[in-house]
Structure 1
Amino acid sequence: MSRHRNVRNRSYSDDYDYDDVYGHSVEEDSCLSPGDNSQFLYDRSRNQQAISSFLEQHSNIEEEAEDEADVSRPSLDRRDSLDLRSLHLDEADEVRLMSCLDELRNVLGDSISDNILIQTVINHNYDFNKALDEILNTNQSKEPKKPKLDPVKPVVLVDNVKAPVITIADKPKVIATKLEPKTAGVIKGFKVDASSESGSRSHTPRSQSPAAGYMSPKPEQSEERVTFKAKENKIDPNLQYSNERGSQKDHLYIVVIGHVDAGKSTLMGRLLCEMGEVSQRTLHKYEQESKKMGKQSFMYAWVLDETGEERVRGITMDVGRAQFETKTKKVIILDAPGHADFIPNMITGAGQADVALLVIDATTGEFESGFELGGQTREHALLVRSLGVSQLAVAINKLDTTNWSQERFDEIVNKLKSFLKQAGFKDSDVTFVPCSGLTGENLVHPPTEAGLLEWYKGPCLLDVIDGFNVPERPVAKPLRLTINDIFKGTGSGFCVAGRIETGVLNKGDKVLVCPLKEMAEVKSLSINDMPNNVAFAGDQVSVTLSGIDIQNVFVGYVLSDPVQQVPVTTRFEARIVVFNVKTPITKGYPVLIHYQSLVEPANIVKLKALLNKSTGEVVKKRPRCLGNNSVAVVELEVGRPVCVERYKDVKELGRVMLRVAGATIAAGLVTDIYNT
């Protein structure tokens, strides 16, 4: 048996040898066995009696506390609340039930027992408003009516002359004298003297505060209890949006697209410099660094291309972000990559945009290579139109290399007009602007070049952007936020970034992370790196979540309203338009579905019908294959559950893109969702 030091009984003298190291086994007189100190040993027979007496005493205290609680709150009895497991609810219904219970408790407090709340919510199919109405009506009917002592309803008025108090049935009642209607005012349901209101502040008891669920007058003022129907805490989303954003400039998200090396980043970087969004010190730094690398013409592109790899390779790889303000709008730029290898990133940026800016390289030969089959000009235009962007500005860039030739400008415009019309853009929604990103001509200010002034009288690029119409924000629909980035925040929890497609998100809200269907809480949120308490549909936000593990959240997931949840499925129907395919699409054709930020493998499991491109009528049922430029209804199946919405319900979440081997072969609208 090992030796132990008796530290408690040891006396430490001044001449104690501190060279003695803890843990050394030495022979000393102070090294006593613990067996010599019986008070430190556990004795079952002795301690069992002490524990039983402690438990008995503790139970008596609990019973007394429960009796006191029953007296003060006779209607509240947590012991009769139902066990949720006995209800045999699935996970989704249980989440909806808990959400309704939280809202009911916010309105009613603890005046109603849990079992009544649960049964009422289930009876009304988790409808909060109907459940609240039934509970309020039931309580009103059960409340005993007090007999009226006087056919005339007592009016509580305060007069300068003291009113005599007459006692009837041992209950005081105030009889008002010398009534003066001109001095009587009505506030919060009670008549008070206007002079007393202005002269001195009335002492209102806490029970009469509007913050309480009801307002009850003092016994000497009235013998009738005045109750107000509890109102729902939720604010009208449209009213909240007008209050928050009514005085601010409209937010407009614009995606910059085009063929690789068309000058997208340089054009936007020069625009930001002209707008004063980039300091001269930063611009000088970019100029010196780009000179060292032998890429001085890329100095403006570095404003948006921030990563080292993007600057070394001279191409945009991820979606760059910047913002500036026009006369009427706050514009957020989404600089999408133009290289064919980064089309998925471009789709992510286009899915977050309201309008698009298509940049064209006017240099001889460059426009043709980007516009012909295989170039990104065509594909980008088709993608943004398929993703719901209807307004387009076309910047004919680098026109200074052709000495501002009107013939070259007209040639490009004529070719693009016919193609964009076929892609679905209206002529009235497309504007063509000649400009130069490197020199800054016709970007922010009207043109000054003599060669351009000879034939161009239109607006500059900034005026075209300021003239875009801001789409209507669907704030009244249930919350849908698509996650396109996940990162660890500075504080507790973690952050997700994405676009609010529909609805309103407030700080402190409970959200459902789908398709996992786990509950989380919004600890904080920010818009464009600025903290906010509320965000609306159309906003790009960063949300700090708590109550869920970061390992259970992935890019492509959706933050949903807990009650009106986003549909989750592995099989859905879509109406697609086939672009260009090398081999015909047949049953079982494997594709990659691009849905917002989600990229998911899928199979076309059924070809349901071939449609007429103009009228949409069924031409052939169950076709054997689909060729180029065909329109069809197909059934798609993915390997794991995904969140999708029907296009008729939520347009923002009703579009899908189909890609194969790095090429976009089709775009579609979700027409039906199957339960799986």
Structure 2
Amino acid sequence: MGHAPREKPIAGERDARRGVGATTTTTMMRPAAPGGAVEAKRAFAFDTLSPDQAAMSARGRKSAVSGARDVNNVETREGATASAALAEELAVKVRVGGEDALSTFRSYEASREECAAYASNSGDIHVVILGHVDAGKSTLSGRLLYALKAIDDRVVHKNARDSKASGKASFAWAWVMDSRPEERERGVTIDVSVKRCVLDDERQLVVLDAPGHRDFVPSAISGAAQADAGVLVIDGAIGGFENGFDAAAGHSGQTREHARLAKSLGLNTLLVVVNKMDCVSYDRERFQHIVEVLTHFLVDDVKFTNEQLIFIPVSGIDGANIAPDRSDSPEALTSWYKGPALIEALRAIRLPSRGEPKPLRMPIADIITDIRSLGSAACGGKIEAGSLSRGQKVIIAPANITATVKCIEIDGLAVDFAPVGTSVDVGFSNLDPQHLQVGSVLCHESHPIASTTEIEVRVLTTDVLRIPILRGSKVVLHSHMLACDATVDALVAQVDTLTGNIIKENPRCITRDQSAILRIKTSKSVCVEPTSVSPTLSRVTLRSGGKTIALGAVTAIWR
């Protein structure tokens, strides 16, 4: 995964300190004209001007030069005015949003395979595992993959042996997902871990285990951006839930932030998994207390509906209530809980209709360098729109480079065609790897995405916003896989959170828990689309000082 920019205000004097924008004037030394140092005296000639005539002639030349200078000054001013007008004319950009953005796709003709993929209910289900650090996300993910037979007993025994030898026996299941040495040493997930397995007869499950620590929230954002549904893991132990959820001084839990990210990034199903129920002896009252508190927050504050939420008590360390047969579930739990097990709830997820086929859009999530079959220029990501075929020509935006798809792999297996919603690895022929960047987008050759440095977004600020958003405020913009520094160029309007009606145009500032329309300038060209075109590529998150201060979507771009 790519490294996100530092999430702290950018000092305005940085460029000045670095000398950016300074110009250096170099004086070109010309050689003296040969013989110019000494001139021979010429004899007096009567056909030359007399001294008086020479003086009159000099005064005439001076007047002529003065007049010419005035004329030149006028011409210079007129030229400068014309140049400024031309520069202003060239600087004007066209706002593209709503129906204007959709009109570019009207001529798109999808293939028969692509139309069938859009109409099908099969395919991959991408689920992101979210939650506060130490809620047991990786352990739960390991147990889930084992129950779905994605890993065998040999892997389980090896992890148990290695974790015990390292003095971290309780991390054995977590090591299924946390495979990097630094993750195993520190005992926390640092980057998004991805595993694929069979969910049912028609669909594959792609598990995205996101970091819970606040230092790695940008990675959690990129993980959630690829997901179709979310699993919010809650620490059910006494003090564990409170530490991850409470917003009082002294607490820095990520439960609230992750829940808001799940909603803002378009996840329409959220499984709220209350983990570590073994620590409270599977107490029913403890589970019901957590359900009541979280329902109030998720429905009233975050704006999920009750139908989008499913609460499930589990124990990742014991494996309780994960598999449908409940063979590992103790009577202390089964005596009162009659709802679905985790895998049953996952199998019940139904994706919303994808609508009409649209041109290829695949945000690059990874740059791949270690898979020989893909070649030296390869990347991975999820196809958000359209499809990919071997031999297809694509455009890599915003670099605007054309490349040919040499090969496509799904979980290590070569395929000739990959439909919408599939996570794939793609190798290219005759492409310099430097043109592949995390956050770039693979596009249809005839319908590329428009890159831009100016966007209009509608956002809702969060309750962690302490310093109001002003014109000129510095933020880090996150959208799908990209992250870049940005500046709030204009506060267009404050709007009603529920109706979207404008409350005040051009407000002086935007404070916490307010909805607003902002115009933002990015530090580099980015590839996003209005929400009317792409719900996935329009979702944005604004962060500052290591905190998520606003969530929303792109309503228009300037190009």
Aligned 8 A contact 2:117 2:420 in 1: no
Q: Tell me if 1:657 matches 2:533.
A: no
CA distance in 2, matches of 1:548, 1:275: 39
Aligned to 1:379: 257
Alignment of 1:427-446 (within 5 A): 427-444=306-323, 445-446=325-326
Aligned 8 A contact 1:473 1:538 in 2: no
Aligned residues: 445
Aligned to 2:117: 241
Aligned to 1:425: 304
Aligned to 2:488: 604
Aligned to 1:355: 229
Q: Tell me if 1:300 matches 2:183.
A: no
Aligned to 1:632: 516
Aligned to 2:446: 563
Once the 2 structures are TM-superposed, how far is the Cα of residue 348 of structure 1 from its aligned partner? 0.8
Higher RCO (CA 8 Å, separation ≥ 6 residues): 2
Once the 2 structures are TM-superposed, how far is the Cα of residue 582 of structure 1 from its aligned partner? 1.3
Aligned pair partner of 1:515 in 393, 398, 404:
398
Aligned pair partner of 2:281 in 395, 400, 403:
403
Q: List runs of 5+ in structure 1 lacking aligned partners.
A: 1-124, 130-231
CA distance in 2, matches of 1:126, 1:627: 38
Superimposed CA distance per residue, residues 573-609 of structure 1 (whole angstroms, 9 cap, x where no aligned partner): 1111111311111000000001111111000010010
CA distance in 2, matches of 1:314, 1:464: 28
Q: 1:310 to 1:128 in 2, by over 3 A?
A: closer
Aligned 8 A contact 1:577 1:667 in 2: yes
SS in 2 for 1:294: coil
CA distance in 1, matches of 2:123, 2:380: 21
Aligned to 2:341: 460
Alignment of 1:524-535 (within 5 A): 524-535=407-418
Aligned to 1:471: 352
Superimposed CA distance per residue, residues 261-281 of structure 1 (whole angstroms, 9 cap, x where no aligned partner): 000111111122233322222
Aligned 8 A contact 2:118 2:420 in 1: no
Aligned 8 A contact 1:446 1:459 in 2: no
Q: Give the TM-score normalised by the residue count of structure 1.
A: 0.64
Q: Judge which range, 450-459 or 575-584, deviates more.
A: 450-459
Once the 2 structures are TM-superposed, how far is the Cα of residue 127 of structure 1 from its aligned partner? 10
Alignment of 1:59-208 (within 5 A): none
SS in 2 for 1:305: coil
Q: 1:307 to 1:606 in 2, by over 3 A?
A: same
Aligned 8 A contact 2:118 2:356 in 1: no
Aligned pair partner of 2:161 in 271, 285, 288:
288
Q: Which amino acid in structure 2 is aligned with residue 513 of structure 1?
A: I
CA distance in 2, matches of 1:402, 1:493: 52
Aligned pair partner of 1:549 in 427, 432, 437:
432
Aligned 8 A contact 2:114 2:387 in 1: no
CA distance in 2, matches of 1:520, 1:241: 24
Once the 2 structures are TM-superposed, how far is the Cα of residue 552 of structure 1 from its aligned partner? 2.2
Once the 2 structures are TM-superposed, how far is the Cα of residue 126 of structure 1 from its aligned partner? 13
Q: 1:353 to 1:599 in 2, by over 3 A?
A: same
CA distance in 2, matches of 1:264, 1:616: 36
CA distance in 1, matches of 2:135, 2:187: 12
Q: 1:474 to 1:242 in 2, by over 3 A?
A: closer
Aligned to 1:262: 135
SS in 1 for 2:384: strand
SS in 1 for 2:536: helix
Aligned 8 A contact 1:392 1:431 in 2: yes
Alignment of 1:11-50 (within 5 A): none
CA distance in 2, matches of 1:391, 1:286: 32
Once the 2 structures are TM-superposed, how far is the Cα of residue 475 of structure 1 from its aligned partner? 6.8
Aligned to 2:503: 619
CA distance in 2, matches of 1:467, 1:126: 33
Aligned 8 A contact 2:115 2:357 in 1: no
Q: 1:250 to 1:607 in 2, by over 3 A?
A: same
Q: Which amino acid in structure 2 is aligned with residue 395 of structure 1?
A: V
Aligned to 2:147: 274
Aligned pair partner of 2:473 in 589, 595, 608:
589
Once the 2 structures are TM-superposed, how far is the Cα of residue 240 of structure 1 from its aligned partner? 4.3
Once the 2 structures are TM-superposed, how far is the Cα of residue 493 of structure 1 from its aligned partner? 4.0
Once the 2 structures are TM-superposed, how far is the Cα of residue 457 of structure 1 from its aligned partner? 1.1
Once the 2 structures are TM-superposed, how far is the Cα of residue 238 of structure 1 from its aligned partner? 4.4
CA distance in 2, matches of 1:349, 1:545: 24
Once the 2 structures are TM-superposed, how far is the Cα of residue 467 of structure 1 from its aligned partner? 0.5
Aligned to 2:10: none
Superimposed CA distance per residue, residues 519-559 of structure 1 (whole angstroms, 9 cap, x where no aligned partner): 10000111222211111221111110123211122111111
SS in 2 for 1:265: helix
Q: 1:514 to 1:456 in 2, by over 3 A?
A: same
Q: 1:327 to 1:560 in 2, by over 3 A?
A: closer
Once the 2 structures are TM-superposed, how far is the Cα of residue 454 of structure 1 from its aligned partner? 2.4
Once the 2 structures are TM-superposed, how far is the Cα of residue 471 of structure 1 from its aligned partner? 3.3
SS in 1 for 2:232: strand
Once the 2 structures are TM-superposed, how far is the Cα of residue 473 of structure 1 from its aligned partner? 3.7
CA distance in 2, matches of 1:578, 1:239: 39
Aligned to 1:490: 372
CA distance in 2, matches of 1:477, 1:127: 9
Q: Tell me if 1:450 matches 2:331.
A: yes
Q: Tell me if 1:325 matches 2:198.
A: yes
Aligned 8 A contact 1:475 1:503 in 2: no
Q: 1:487 to 1:324 in 2, by over 3 A?
A: closer
CA distance in 2, matches of 1:406, 1:535: 45
CA distance in 2, matches of 1:290, 1:493: 35
SS in 1 for 2:272: strand
Q: Give the TM-score normalised by the residue count of structure 2.
A: 0.77
Aligned to 1:182: none
Identity %: 38
SS in 2 for 1:620: strand
CA distance in 2, matches of 1:414, 1:299: 32
Aligned to 2:242: 368
Q: 1:324 to 1:613 in 2, by over 3 A?
A: same
Q: Tell me if 1:390 matches 2:281.
A: no
Superimposed CA distance per residue, residues 434-484 of structure 1 (whole angstroms, 9 cap, x where no aligned partner): 110011111102364221122211111110111011233457101111011
**Greater radius of gyration (CA):** 1
CA distance in 2, matches of 1:575, 1:237: 36
CA distance in 2, matches of 1:595, 1:626: 21
CA distance in 2, matches of 1:635, 1:326: 42
Q: Which amino acid in structure 2 is aligned with residue 393 of structure 1?
A: L
Q: Which amino acid in structure 2 is aligned with residue 402 of structure 1?
A: V
Q: Which amino acid in structure 2 is aligned with residue 642 of structure 1?
A: V
Once the 2 structures are TM-superposed, how far is the Cα of residue 412 of structure 1 from its aligned partner? 0.3
CA distance in 1, matches of 2:338, 2:254: 30
Q: Tell me if 1:573 matches 2:451.
A: no
Once the 2 structures are TM-superposed, how far is the Cα of residue 617 of structure 1 from its aligned partner? 0.9
Q: 1:239 to 1:519 in 2, by over 3 A?
A: same
CA distance in 2, matches of 1:575, 1:271: 37
Q: Which amino acid in structure 2 is aligned with residue 602 of structure 1?
A: A
